[in-house]
Amino acid sequence: MVKSIALVVVSIYVGWVFRGIYADETTDSSNQKREELSDVECEDISHEVIEKTIEKEIIKYVPKTKIVYRENKQEDNRTKDPFFIALEQKKFYKAMEYYEEAEEEKHSTYKNALLGYFRKEELSAPWKTVHQIRYFLNMETENEKFVFLLSGIFVRLGVYSMALDLLVDFSYVASFENIKLIHTKIKSISLTYIDKLMVAQEYKELVTFLLNRINIGVLSEFYSFELAKVYIKLKKYIKAKELFEELIYNDIYKERAIKLLDYIDEKLAELAEYPIQIPLMRSGRHFLVKAYVNQREVVLLLDTGASITTIDDTIVNGLDIFKKDVTFGTANGEILSNIYSADNFTIGEITISNFHISGGLPVDNSIDGLLGMNFLGRYKFKIDQREAILFLGKKY
């Protein structure tokens, strides 16, 4: 009887000790068990029941104690691991020696550490980081995380072709699951570079880049489509048409290629009707054009309401007079002016001999005069206001 009471007292004491240590993690079920235990008559509690109860409490909490121990042990191992020590000291190639010597199970942890190391080092020494990543990729040829990291560094350095070459090479050895992601990255980088060259109007470099990419053979249809769009921009419609006619058999580009082929046909018909195209300059809602009077450059405002081309008196005073004191009707009333004859009057690829020009007062400080119907009326003409182009064709 005394033994039983003593054992009960011990069990209650042990229960309260565990409750104090693990109060936050003790479940309602364990509390219920203690209540049930206290309600049982002391005489009915055997020594074996008490031992099992204590054993359950101990087993319940031992795993958590072990996890804490393992985490601390892992942290200790990290500070003692020669790979991490070398990497912390920025002794990259020494760290790689430890990497090669390490057991395979450690490589995953080492790779994560290397990713962080490379991202940090790129900020201060990008090209040094490039060489180090390349060195690592010679050891781990199929590691996509490091390939994508390196391609991103190349883009930030502005060497787009190197980024693309890296991804293309990787696509030959990558898993099937990674191919789509690689192609998406290739397209994204290419479009960024294309936009950059378009904005800078580096068309020759852009065409060369796209032709090289087509010849490589990876995503050729994508690059052909982009090149055809560049040809349209450069008004090389025949070359663009040839590329689009090949793409109509591709399911991805078929619909867009057909629409652009219709657009090209319209432009080719337009060129047949208006073979001469002269670029214009904008001035608010008006258009200006460069012209040459006896090789002297002037800037003229297109004015379909003016019967004759008019240029500032200070410019035409040296020309031969064709007629004196001619009356002209203007928006401000009638004026008297001389008509002069220029030996050569040139706009774009057109040169007219013995071209008649009237003198006048300066219209605006930014222009030298007006281009009138004695020039425009010689041709069938229209103005593309969106593209700022003067189209000229033969009158029939």
User: Is residue 246 within 8 Å of 261, Cβ to Cβ?
Assistant: no
For residue 51, pLDDT over 90 is answered with no
Can you state the angle between helices 92-101 and 104-124, rounded to 10 degrees? 170
* Residues contacting residue 361 through CB under 8 Å, at least 6 positions apart: 312, 313
- The mean pLDDT of 75-83, rounded to a whole number, is 75
Angstrom distance (rounded) from CA 243 to CA 248: 9
Would strands 369-371 and 296-302 be described as parallel, antiparallel, or unpaired? parallel
Range with top average pLDDT, 21-35, 158-172, 311-325, 328-342: 158-172
8 Å CB contact between 218 and 171:
yes
Across residues 9-21, what is the average pLDDT? 47
pLDDT digits (tens, 9 = 90+) for 160-184: 999 999 999 999 988 888 899 999 9
DSSP per residue, 324-384: EEEEEEETTEEEEEEEEEEEEEEETTEEEEEEEEEEE---BTTB-EEE-HHHHTTSEEEEE
Q: How far apart are the first and last CA of the chain?
A: 131
Phi then psi for residue 336, to 5 deg, are: -105, 135
- Radius of gyration over every alpha carbon of the chain, rounded to an integer in angstroms: 42
Q: What is the pLDDT of residue 46?
A: 52
CA torsion, ordered 206, 207, 209, 215, to nearest 10 deg: 160
pLDDT, tens digit, for every residue of 243-291?
A: 999 999 999 999 999 999 999 999 999 899 999 999 999 988 899 999 9
Burial of 9 (0-12, 13-18, 19+ CB in 10 A): exposed
Per-residue pLDDT tens for 114-148?
999 999 999 999 999 999 999 999 998 778 999 99
pTM: 0.66
Residue 321: which region, alpha, beta or left (left: phi > 0; alpha: psi -120 to 50)? beta
What are the tens digits of pLDDT across the range 303-316?
998 889 999 988 88
How is the chain split into domains, by residue range?
A: 2-77, 125-271, 277-393
Query: CB atoms < 10 A from the CB of 302, how many?
Result: 19
Any idea which architecture 277-393 has in CATH? Beta Barrel (2.40)
What's the CATH fold of domain 125-271? 1.25.40
